[in-house]
Structure 1
Amino acid sequence: MDRYEQIAGELRERIEHGELRPGDRVPSTREITRRWNVAMATATKVLAELRGRGLVRAVPGVGTVVAGSPGPSPAPTAERPPGRQLPRRPAPEGVLTAERIVAAAVAVADGEGLEALSMRRVAAELDVATMSLYRHVPDKDGLVHLMMDRVFAGVSFSAADAALGWRARLELAAHLLWRTFRAHPWLASALSVTRPQPVANALPFGEWVLSALIAEGLDVPSVFTAYLTLFNYVRGTALNLEMEAAAEAATGQDAEAWMDQQEGMFMELVAAYPTFVRLTREGYDFDLDQLFEFGLQRLLDGLAVLIGRVAPDGRTADDRTADGRTADGQDSRSPRS
């Protein structure tokens, strides 16, 4: 018996024995992954199995509940022929909104990744007809754009933060962005640096970083390059979050279990490289948060050097040296004592 069938069996027994009564919420996919220590794909199969048996149903704004009450459980649907939509009773007027659609889409992407997101899937979560979504959002690309805007609405700075120095301000911005990517692993791959999307709620974040750097006297190209470098560093590191989640769902193993399985083969591969051998034997506690923090501090160290080379008049040390002034302000053409 597959693992998802075992978990579904446990929940089915709880329903049949009355521990979970009609209308009670059943564990979400995220709760199932935590409680039973399984991959998200397995958790999704659990709820699909229970839905297929007519034991649970989706309730808009609530989640997945035991079928029965309030209201009758929906009848099982037949297999849908390709390209056809079975008629579905429309939601009452005014119930379905863009906000609810976006919230449901974010929940799907948070739990199962952007690849699992589709208009049909969101409609199923809301228990409405797929075509009804198009009255509120243009298409999947438009939906993802609204999702990004919603997520960035939660990234904000306080008035007190404005008194911080440039480094503290950039550090705060990077940490806020990292936590946002942590909460929404799909976001990093959805955002583009080469073809930036016009996400209105992301503009305050950019303004915060840009204004902190421009106040230090850097020229505009340097300011914008520094901003893009910081943003892309955080985003690039965060891409590993979704990749790891997908790998875990596909293999059923977390990163540590996978590395343990690969250790023998890796040791054979690096046998001729003493530094790798030593590292492997002594062990390395890989932590993505620590990796992010180490890289962030080194990046800010580099910006500190750049900012330190800018004089109050906005000219760099190279500019002053070219004019006959050394980096410490002395005249390079005059003999030193």
Structure 2
Amino acid sequence: MTETTSARIAADLRSRIAAGEFGPGDRVPSTRDLTRRWGVAMATATRALSLLQDEGVLRSVRGVGTVVAARPAGTRPARRRATASPARDDVVRAAIEVADAEGLATLSMRRIAAELDIPTMSLYQHVAGKDELIVLMIDRAFGEQPLPAEPAPDWRAALEIAARLEWAAFRRHPWLAPAMSLTRPQPVPSALAYTEWVLGALDERGLDPITAFTVHVMLFSHVRGMAVNLESEAQAEAESGLTADEWMDAHVGAITALAEGAEFPFVTRMTGLDFDLDLDALFELGLRCLLDGLRGVLP
């Protein structure tokens, strides 16, 4: 039933695009708009948009939402690359481009095959499946900007270098932080290089291996913990058409009323202030506090 409804929604949008209601680059109704209009679940609306994205009729634009692709509706989409036998490197690069542009949730073997203009089954000559592909994507993303060849002058500088390079990688690829696991880490060579860098810097301070590794996990947890907000915010902005600041402006009245009604005076005071939620600034503040605190741990 869900598949049929998704197909009906996709067909309706396709006909509206063909009729000229939406032109190339125009934003089409978001998943939330579709759920309200059709009375369906979010997953059904998302599937409808995904069907049209797979056809090349629609594409996702970060900060804008889902828009009509710049080609006549109903024609075959132009591929960015076409090769009868892509290398594994081509598969990984195409997957990263899709995840960067549209989010990790849209990534599928079928979607990547469409980008490469090859049969879906051809991908399995290079990767066993989506799980292995994501590991290869993480490895490439972390390896784009390698750690310096020369050691850092001291432990604090080493940890700052590692943390800021990780943050930069997460910034370039918003899907990267959610794709990585803290409790079940994937076997990623380029990520292990960061572990080695931090452990090497802490080993010179005479820390036992368990304490040094705990410090590394804590540092990584701070960086990743801030970065997991990047993709969810990009998706929310694409779906709603509102930036985080615009969303807060639209909802601050309800939050203020709740705080006042529940007698939360300090929260009420904050709702009247001009606070800018800057993730980069929060990352830097947290990093500074974390490293300052380690002065009492490191011998």
With the shorter chain as reference, the TM-score category is: 0.7 to 0.9
Q: Note if contact 1:156-1:205 (Cα within 8 Å) is conserved in structure 2.
A: no
**TM score, norm. by length of structure 2:** 0.77
Secondary structure at 1:238's aligned position in 2? helix
Gaps of 5+ in 2: 1-15, 28-57
2:217 maps to which residue? 228
Question: 1:263 aligned to 216, 235, 252, which one?
Answer: 252
Structure 1 distance, partners of 2:283, 2:26, is 41
1:275 maps to which residue? 266
Secondary structure at 2:242's aligned position in 1? coil
1:59 maps to which residue? 80
Question: 1:303 aligned to 284, 291, 294, which one?
Answer: 294
Structure 2 distance, partners of 1:6, 1:57, is 17
1:167 maps to which residue? 156
Deviation at 1:177, TM superposition (A): 0.1
Structure showing the higher helix proportion among its residues: 2
Structure 1 distance, partners of 2:152, 2:183, is 32
1:179 maps to which residue? 168
Secondary structure at 1:204's aligned position in 2? helix
**TM score, norm. by length of structure 1:** 0.69
Deviation at 1:8, TM superposition (A): 4.0
Deviation at 1:203, TM superposition (A): 1.7
Q: Note if contact 1:193-1:232 (Cα within 8 Å) is conserved in structure 2.
A: yes
2:230 maps to which residue? 241
- One-letter identity of the residue aligned with 2:290: L
Question: 1:149 aligned to 101, 117, 139, which one?
Answer: 139
Whether 2:107 is the aligned partner of 1:117: answer yes
Q: Structure 1 residues 237 and 51 mapped into 2: Cα distance closer, same or farther (>3 Å)? A: farther
Q: Note if contact 2:24-2:71 (Cα within 8 Å) is conserved in structure 1.
A: no
CA deviations on 1:88-120 (whole Å, 9 max, x unpaired) are: xxx43xx41100000000000111111000000
Which fold has the larger relative contact order, with Cα–Cα distance below 8 Å and residues 6 or more apart in sequence? 2
Q: Note if contact 1:120-1:130 (Cα within 8 Å) is conserved in structure 2.
A: yes
Bigger radius of gyration:
1
Q: Note if contact 1:267-1:277 (Cα within 8 Å) is conserved in structure 2.
A: yes
Matches within 5 A, 1:28-39: 33=62, 38-39=64-65
Deviation at 1:252, TM superposition (A): 2.0
Question: 2:278 aligned to 275, 287, 294, which one?
Answer: 287
Deviation at 1:184, TM superposition (A): 0.8
Deviation at 1:9, TM superposition (A): 6.8
Gaps of 5+ in 1: 11-27, 62-90, 311-337
Question: 2:93 aligned to 103, 107, 123, which one?
Answer: 103
CA RMSD of superposed structures (Å): 2.5
Matches within 5 A, 1:209-220: 209-220=198-209
